Amino acid sequence: MNGWMHHLIIAPVLIPLVAGAILLFFDERQRFVKGMISLTSALLVLAVALTLFRIEIDPQGFDGVYLLGNWKAPFGIVLVVDGLSALMLLLTALLAVAVLIYSLARWHAAGAHFHTMFQLLLVGLNGAFLTGDLFNLFVFFEVMLAASYGLLLHGSGPLRVKAGMHYIAVNLAAALLFLIGVSLIYGTAGTLNMADLAARIPEIEPDRRMLMEAGAGVLGIAFLIKAGMWPLCFWLPTAYSAASAPVASIFAIMSKLGIYIILRLTMLLFGEGPSAGFGADVLLYGGLATLVFGTIGVFASQALGRLAGFSVLVSSGTLLMVLGINDGAISSGALLYMVSSTLTISAFFMLIELVERGQDAGANVLAVTMEAYGDDEDEPEEGGGVTMPGTMAILGTCFAACGILLSGLPPLSGFVAKFAMLSAMMGTGAIGVPPTAAVWTLVILVIFSGVAALISMTRVGIRTFWGSIEGVVPRVLVIEIMPVMFLLALTLVLTVRAGPAMHYMDTTIRTLSNPTVYIDAVRNAVVAGEDRPASAGIGEGD
């Protein structure tokens, strides 16, 4: 095996778990120490994610299957890193570092245990991206959700408690659906290992297959709630706009987790064989409805927070529809879109708080809660940290960049991603098949949702930056605006390096659409301390 490199696979789960545990031993007043531990952990995870990502660019001979407890595949739990999970890990780690730096300015002081919950959220996210076992996925999902309940309530206040209660109730119900789905699948297929399950699906008898598909459907609903498909999404804009800025910002990746799991499971279980295409129509029309609902919401929202919340829905709707169409070239464009839109929305949520700082009553609420938690006297409201010069100009530029990204105009990556999707849809790409009515609808809706974002962003921008006669310049620290600029700069990098990025997405989708690669990798994983059996002679070399 590749020696110690192989153990990097579990590091994205272990590092934040240990950091989260250590953080509990520090008193809330030692904020600087806590912040530094948390940031160190996030940076380490970023380094690991970057290493795994670089390996996955050219995975020659790297065995991405990690057997937990050294049990052979269908009996023990496996972690699997492939192109898709490495991409998601990297995206999560980038967001986490940016959000943590942002929160160090003031938000981490607005309540207890911010850093611990943040690290546990990372544990849940990274674990869910890595795991190759359905029930283990449930456990990581719950770890992530439990941390997110706490984070959503961070900063307190009636609005957050109300949104938090709805959020928790919806997600508890979703967790129960998850369990029903998992147990139905176990009852019919007799396995919880994803690779083993995919291999067994063709062998299931027709009467049991129906039950297995019902289980998969119930399971899918749990993820669609997380991803925010139309009739299941009404909690999302409220919860995201009520959350404090750094929390909403990291939540942007949480809705993508739902998309990730649906992508992974549909490609693996329903890519080919007798159950091929199961649920594709639901994703297609559900995504369509989500896109329409999100676009209307973007038009209708007056507050910036809700605008961003509905942008999450627009992004989810687009991705779900593409999953429903399930075509190679479109899907790889959609992966690029997913990365680009997650970075954008995350940056946008942080930016909103900075822009609105001078105007609304939210800052007062924060001041009150910070007082309740004993804000240090030596850390007064004014004067802590370096203030950003030319605040309005920089905020305005970032805001414009967000607008450009959300509406998909050149030169930033929103344009490249949408262009990649649309050109593949209209048949000028690699496939050359004339598009169907559903695809045309999607093309129209994607373009229209971009126009909606442009109109809304322009309207809000004019009101915020040009319309305010009083000229209250918000006081913005360098460490608050830097993460926003960092995420926006990443989208610029994504534009410049669009060629290699698209190549990576193409390779990823091609690997995903051939489930035997994944199945064989998991089934033939070798137990450590034991040489590959000479008699078997299957699989590639180490």
Partner 1 sequence: MEIILSIAIGVMTACGVWLILRPRTYQVIIGLSLLSYAVNLFIFGVGGVKTNVPPILSDDVAISTLTDPVPQALVLTAIVIGFATTALFLVVLLASRGLTGTDHVDGRDDRK
Q: Rule CB under 8 A: is residue 235 a binding residue for partner 1?
A: no
406 CB-near residues (< 8 Å, 6+ apart):
311, 341, 344, 345, 348, 414, 450, 453, 454, 457
If binding is defined by CB under 8 A, does position 168 make contact with partner 1? yes
Residue from 10, 50, 146, 485 touching partner 1 (CB under 8 A): that is 146
Which residue, 138 or 415, is less far from partner 1 as judged by CB?
A: 138
Tokens 């993508």 correspond to: 256
Give the number of other Cβ atoms within 10 Å of residue 384's Cβ.
13
Minimal distance, residue 160 CB to partner 1, in Å: 9
CB of 524 to partner 1, least distance (A): 23
**By C-beta, is 127 or 435 nearer to partner 1?**
127
Nearer to partner 1, 156 or 346 (CB): 156
Contact 407, 453 (CB under 8 A): yes
* Residue 284 near partner 1 by CB under 8 A: no
- Compare residues 47 and 180 and give the one whose CB is closer to partner 1: 180
175 binds partner 1 (CB under 8 A): yes
Residue closer to partner 1 by CB (options 180, 438) is: 180
Residues that bind partner 1 (rule: CB under 8 A) add up to a total of 31
Residue type, 259: I
Query: Which of the 8 DSSP states describes residue 131?
Result: B
Q: Which is nearer to partner 1, 68 or 180 (CB)?
A: 180
Residues 127/13, Cβ–Cβ less than 8 Å: yes
Q: Does 197 bind partner 1 (CB under 8 A)?
A: no
Cβ distance to partner 1 smaller for residue 182 or 481 = 182
The answer to whether 180 contacts partner 1 (rule: CB under 8 A) is yes
Q: Give 166-206 as a DSSP string.
A: HHHHHHHHHHHHHHHHHHHHHHHHS--BHHHHHHHGGGS-H
Based on the shown chain and the rule CB under 8 A, indicate whether residue 187 belongs to the binding site for partner 1: yes
Position 14: which residue type? Answer: L
- Is 69 within 8 Å of 10 (Cβ atoms)? no
At 61, list the tokens. Answer: 């001979």
User: For partner 1, which stretch binds (CB under 8 A), given 151-159, 259-267, 363-371, 389-397?
Assistant: 151-159
3-state secondary structure at position 353: helix
User: Distance from CA of residue 29 to its chain's centroid?
Assistant: 31
Strand, coil or helix: what is 477? Answer: strand
Site for partner 1 contains 161 (CB under 8 A) = yes
Question: Smallest distance, Å, CB 188 to partner 1?
Answer: 8
3-state secondary structure at position 133: strand
- CB of 168 or CB of 204, closer to partner 1: 168
106: number of Cβ within 10 Å: 24
For partner 1, the binding residue among 192, 257, 477, 498 (CB under 8 A) is 192
Could you say whether residue 234 binds partner 1 (CB under 8 A)? no
- SS3 of 65, please? strand
CB of 146 to partner 1, least distance (A): 6
Residue 145 binds to partner 1 (criterion: CB under 8 A): yes
List CB contacts of 490: < 8 A, sequence separation 6 or more.
94, 343
Positions in the binding site for partner 1 (CB under 8 A): 135, 138-139, 142, 145-146, 149-150, 153, 156-158, 161-162, 164-166, 168-169, 172-173, 175-176, 179-180, 182-184, 186-187, 192
